[in-house]
Each structure stands twice: as C-alpha cells, then as structure tokens.
Structure 1
Amino acid sequence: MEDTGFVAYRFYTCFSALSKLILDYNACASSIFACVFLTFAYVASLYVWRTQLSRDHPSTIKRRFFSVACIMFLAPFFMLFFLKEETLNKGDVYQQLGLRLPGLIAASVTSLLLTAVLFLGPLTMQFLSGTWKIYIEPMYWVSSWQDLTWVRNHFMAPLSEEWVFRACMMPLLLQCLEPFTAVFVGPLLFGIAHFHHIFEQMKAGFDLKTALIISTFQFAYTSLFGAYSAYLFLRTGHFVAPLAAHMFCNHMGFPNFGEIRFYPSLQRLAIMSNFVLGLTLWCFLLTPMTNPYIFDNRLHWQI
C-alpha cells in the first residue's frame, strides 16, 4: 500500500512538473509571438499607405505619423493581454511601461549624461568647429520644429520606437527570459525592423546589393543601441531614460570618422583621444550610474 502511494505521489510530482514546464513554454512562446507581432505591426503601419512619394515627402510623413500613433495606442493593450498575473503582481501596468514619478528627473539626467559621455568625440568635433553655437539660436529650434523630417527623426521616431520596442516589449520578454538575455534578444527585433529601409534605398536608386549592405550595417548599430536602450529601461525602470538617449543619438547621428582628417593635427589628436576616452568612461560609468536604487526601481533591481 505504501509502495502504491509512493508511486502515485511520484507520478503526481512528475505530472505537475511536466504541466508547469508546458505552461511555462506556452507562456514564453506567446510572449515571443507577441513581440514578433508588434514588430511586424509597427513596420507594416509605415506601408499601409500606397504612394510613390519618398519617405521624406510631407504627405508620407504625416500619414506615417498617424499610422504609427495608432500602433502606439494599441500596443499597451496588446501587451496587457499577454502579461501574466504574476508579472502584474510585481508592478502594475504603468510601472511595467516605465511610467512612474519616483526617480524621473534622475533617470532623464543620467541617461543624457551617459550618452553624452559616449559621444565625447563627436561633441569635441562640434565644439572645435563651432557648430554647437546653433543650439543657442532660437530660430534654429523654431525652424526645426517646422520641419517634418526633423520632427520625425528627433521626436516621433524615438518616441514610437522606444514605446513599442522597449516599454511594451520588454515586460513581455522578461516573463520568460533573464534580464540580461532580454536586453540582447529584444534589440534584435528592433534591428530587424530597420531592414524595411531596403525598399526606401532601392526607391532612391541604390541597387539591391548596396541597399542590403547599408541595411545590414543599420541592423548592427541599431541592435547595439537597442541593447543599451533596453539596459537603461530595465535599470532605471523609466521610459524616459531610453527615450532621452534615443533622441540624443538620433540628433548626433552615427559618428563621421572621415571628418577628423579635416582638422589640424593637434585637434585631430584631441578628437581621437576623446573618442577613446568617451568609450572608456562610458564603460566604467554605465553600471554605477544606472544603479536601480538611485531611481527607486524595485521592479528590475536584480539586474
């Protein structure tokens, strides 16, 4: 009788473990599916309008603003549908999205400072060339906000991408992945989403091979930036942290190393030194400056 009871108990234990494994697998699969779907939905929203106009035409930009805004509105509800109850028990939907007040200013300032340190080389080039002076000209900002291409690149693109790919996707990924794994898996979808630029480049006159090379390069650096952005989001627990970093990076653009040769020799040395110094300081400062306790982040503090 005892043997029968023991066998029944072992069977029940194994069945429970197997059931939990299947449920966990299904939950993980559904989370990954949700993220992949959001990626395709975001990219598809850019192409729902049939037009022969370029992506920089005001009409195209306005239409894409509208369709992307619709995706931004629907994404949190889609995320909430796939969130498990135990995930919401750790923090409500607003906390999961990174929308909270404690540590808000610290997250904004820290994100900008860290990203500025990373761009120490390009910032040195702006200082030496005097181009930084345009930022203190009121008309520069007035004219910029009247330029739809500028608004798209510096505001709408960072806002929509961070909202969908960080705020709405990261909580889903964290349901089945360790934080550090999620930091690198999520940005792959973000990088893949940029492959749609192949069509824009071919429309602009590039052949398929050239367009593919350019898009592969974009995939590489957007994935790396996405990992940095996701790290900021999880460490600070704030949506504004990756958003500020994204806006700053879009404004600076990818460093133009070719311009260094046009500076005098001593200035070239200073610029190259600051490129190395900026990257080194960024590596050393990234972890301590994003300590979750600074931002009262108890949702992902274990990173």
Structure 2
Amino acid sequence: MVESEHFLTRQVEHAHIRCWVCVLCCLLLTCVYVGSLYVWRSSLPRDHPSVIKRRCVSVLLVSALSPTVVTSWAHWADVRVGVSVWELMGVRLEGLLPATVLPLLLTMVFYLGPLVHSAIDDPRGFIEELHCALNVQWWRECVRDVVCLRNQVVAPVTEELVFRGAMLPMLVPCTGPTAAIFIAPLFFGVAHFHHVIAQRHQHKSTMSEILLVAGMQVLYTTVFGTYSAFLFMRTGHIVGPVMCHSFCNSRGLPDLSSALQHPQRAALLFSYLTGVLLFLLLLFPLTDPFFYGAAPICSLAPSSPSVC
C-alpha cells in the first residue's frame, strides 16, 4: 500500500515536471523566434527590403528547427505517437483539400461585413482584389514583393508552425485540448509585444501611445491565436490556420466604427451581424473532424478530448 502511494506520488511529480518543461519549451521557442528578428543589427526600419529578407531567413530557420524541439520534448517526456513529428504538427495529406478550403471559407464568413463594406465603397477595386487573390500570377508577383512575401506567406507559415504546430502538441498532454487552445495564444500574443522596441526607436509616438497600440495588438493576436489553435485542434492540419492567418493579414481588423458612420449604415450593420451569426452557426460543422480524418494531436489528450 505504501509502495503504491509512493509510486502515485512519483507519477504526479513527474507529470508536474513534464508540464513545467513544456512551458519552458514554449517560452524558449517564443524567445528564439522573436530574438531571431534582432540578430541582424541595423538602423534601417522594419519594412526596409534588406531587413525583411534577413528576418524572413531567421524565422524560417527557427521554424525548420521547431520539430527538433517537439521531438526532444516527446523523447524526454516519453510521449509516443504512431505518426511522424511533422504529421503531429499538422503537416499531413489526409483531408488536405477540405483543410485548405473550409477554414478559409469560415473566416471569410466572419469577414462578411468588411467584405460588403469594401464592395460598396469601391466595387471595381473589390472585384480586382478578388481576381488577384485567385490569380496565380498575382501570387508570383507577391513572392517578388518582400513586404507581401512577409505578410502573406512567411509570417503566416512560420508563426503557425511555431506557435500552433509546435506548441500545441507539447501543451495538450499536460492541459488537455480545450485548455491548450487558450494557453498557446498567450505566447503568440506576447511575441508581438516586441513591436514596442521598433516603435520606440522611431520616436514617432509617446510611450503611452506605443503601449496602448501594442496592447491592442497583443489582444488581437491572442484572440486570433485562440481561433487558429481551435482550427488546428479540430482539423489536425496546419494549412487551415496558415490560410486564415494570411487572409486576416490582408484584411486587417474589421472597421466597425467606419461602418457606423457610413451612409448605408443599416445595410452594413446587417452584413456585419449576419457574418458573425453565420460564423457561430458554422464554426463546429465546418471544423468537424469528419472532413479531415482523425487529428494525431488529439491522441495526446490525457482524457476524453472534448474539442477534437
């Protein structure tokens, strides 16, 4: 009886240590990702082409190394899954097509109000923008434009791989799927606080203004991170969060204040409300694991997974 209690105590202590190591690994990934942006010493602004190219190289390297962190953690924590680390991080073929299309469609439904707003204000520009998004040639030109490459490709891919693909598999065994969805975005939100440094160097705003803007950005990125983590957990794919991340980067925050002052305010508010309601109605049906196959990450859950 005493030996049994001693064994259970050791198991609990090991579980606590494993979870603390998980948190430290997530902090390490966050620090390395953000720190890699500043290894290149330069007085040039962050949007300068040479700065963007160097930073893209840095974060791509960190993303490429993130599976090693997950593998090392799984080996140390004695976590065994019958799939490769890349599949565990959401890079897999089963259900790839619906995982690419359905989460993006769901996100566009949420943005129904802003999309209608753009179509009303500039119909021709909206049609051209839609045409560009579906045009392969536009994406080729985007790759040549370093700002577009960073915002639409490199940032979504690297941030989702590191902050969702790598962190969630380490968090789920300790916290469970539901809690992990809300914990992982905290690292993602804090990671964006480094913009305070760049804005402070520019001396264009007071410190209080910089902190206010940074705080809003941290809040927004944390909320988006929760949604992205939910998509990853439900689909078991990283491609959906990447596509939604890229789309949100292109659209920015919905400008509800502008809609309230618009001549066609009633129509716009109706479209905003309709988009939100449809989003809530379709959130679980369009992320049903039926479309994507069993998510490898859900097998790491310590008990019956409620979100998977």
Q: Is TM (by shorter chain) over 0.5?
A: yes
Letter in 1 for 2:79: T
In 1: Cα distance, 2:274 partner to 2:209 partner: 33
User: Structure 2: 5+ residue runs without aligned partners?
Assistant: 300-304
Give secondary structure in 2 for the equivalent of 1:63: helix
CA contact (8 A) 1:31 1:175 kept: no
In 2: Cα distance, 1:108 partner to 1:140 partner: 19
For residue 294 of structure 1, report the CA deviation from its aligned partner: 1.8
Give secondary structure in 2 for the equivalent of 1:269: helix
**In the alignment, which residue of structure 2 is the partner of 1:294?**
291
For residue 261 of structure 1, report the CA deviation from its aligned partner: 5.3
**In the alignment, which residue of structure 1 is the partner of 2:270?**
273
**In the alignment, which residue of structure 2 is the partner of 1:133?**
127
What is the CA deviation profile of residues 91-111 of structure 1, one whole-angstrom value per residue up to 9, with x for unaligned ones?
A: 431221111111110111111
For residue 58 of structure 1, report the CA deviation from its aligned partner: 0.6
**In the alignment, which residue of structure 2 is the partner of 1:264?**
263
Structure 1 stretches of 4+ moved >6 Å: none
Give secondary structure in 1 for the equivalent of 2:198: helix
In 2: Cα distance, 1:158 partner to 1:194 partner: 13
**In the alignment, which residue of structure 1 is the partner of 2:102?**
110
CA contact (8 A) 2:19 2:174 kept: yes
Moved more, 55-64 or 289-298: 289-298
In 2: Cα distance, 1:250 partner to 1:76 partner: 25
What is the CA deviation profile of residues 176-221 of structure 1, one whole-angstrom value per residue up to 9, with x for unaligned ones?
A: 0111100000000000000001112222312211110001001111
Q: What is the TM-score when the length of structure 2 is the normalising length?
A: 0.90
CA contact (8 A) 1:98 1:239 kept: yes
- From 154, 157, 160, the equivalent of 1:156 is 154
In 2: Cα distance, 1:87 partner to 1:298 partner: 16
Moved more, 200-209 or 164-173: 200-209
In 2: Cα distance, 1:16 partner to 1:92 partner: 31
> Given the alignment of the two structures, is residue 30 of structure 1 paired with residue 17 of structure 2, yes or no?
no
Query: CA 1:163–1:67 in structure 2 vs 1: closer, same or farther (change >3 Å)?
Result: same
> Given the alignment of the two structures, is residue 249 of structure 1 paired with residue 248 of structure 2, yes or no?
yes
In 2: Cα distance, 1:207 partner to 1:273 partner: 38
**In the alignment, which residue of structure 2 is the partner of 1:166?**
164
Query: CA 1:144–1:263 in structure 2 vs 1: closer, same or farther (change >3 Å)?
Result: farther
- Quick one: percent identity of the two aligned structures? 36
Q: CA RMSD in A?
A: 1.8
**In the alignment, which residue of structure 2 is the partner of 1:50?**
41
Give secondary structure in 2 for the equivalent of 1:101: coil
CA contact (8 A) 1:235 1:297 kept: no
Query: CA 1:93–1:197 in structure 2 vs 1: closer, same or farther (change >3 Å)?
Result: same
In 2: Cα distance, 1:36 partner to 1:145 partner: 31
For residue 143 of structure 1, report the CA deviation from its aligned partner: 4.7
For residue 227 of structure 1, report the CA deviation from its aligned partner: 0.4
**In the alignment, which residue of structure 1 is the partner of 2:280?**
283
For residue 146 of structure 1, report the CA deviation from its aligned partner: 2.9
CA contact (8 A) 2:168 2:184 kept: yes
Query: CA 1:199–1:104 in structure 2 vs 1: closer, same or farther (change >3 Å)?
Result: same
For residue 283 of structure 1, report the CA deviation from its aligned partner: 1.2
CA contact (8 A) 1:195 1:219 kept: yes
For 1:225-240, what aligned pairs fall within 5 Å after superposition?
Answer: 225-240=224-239
User: Structure 1: 5+ residue runs without aligned partners?
Assistant: 1-9
> Given the alignment of the two structures, is residue 72 of structure 1 paired with residue 63 of structure 2, yes or no?
yes
What is the CA deviation profile of residues 54-103 of structure 1, one whole-angstrom value per residue up to 9, with x for unaligned ones?
A: 00001110110111111111111011100157633254312211111111
Letter in 1 for 2:167: M
Larger radius of gyration between Structure 1 and Structure 2: 1
Give secondary structure in 1 for the equivalent of 2:173: coil
Moved more, 162-171 or 280-289: 280-289
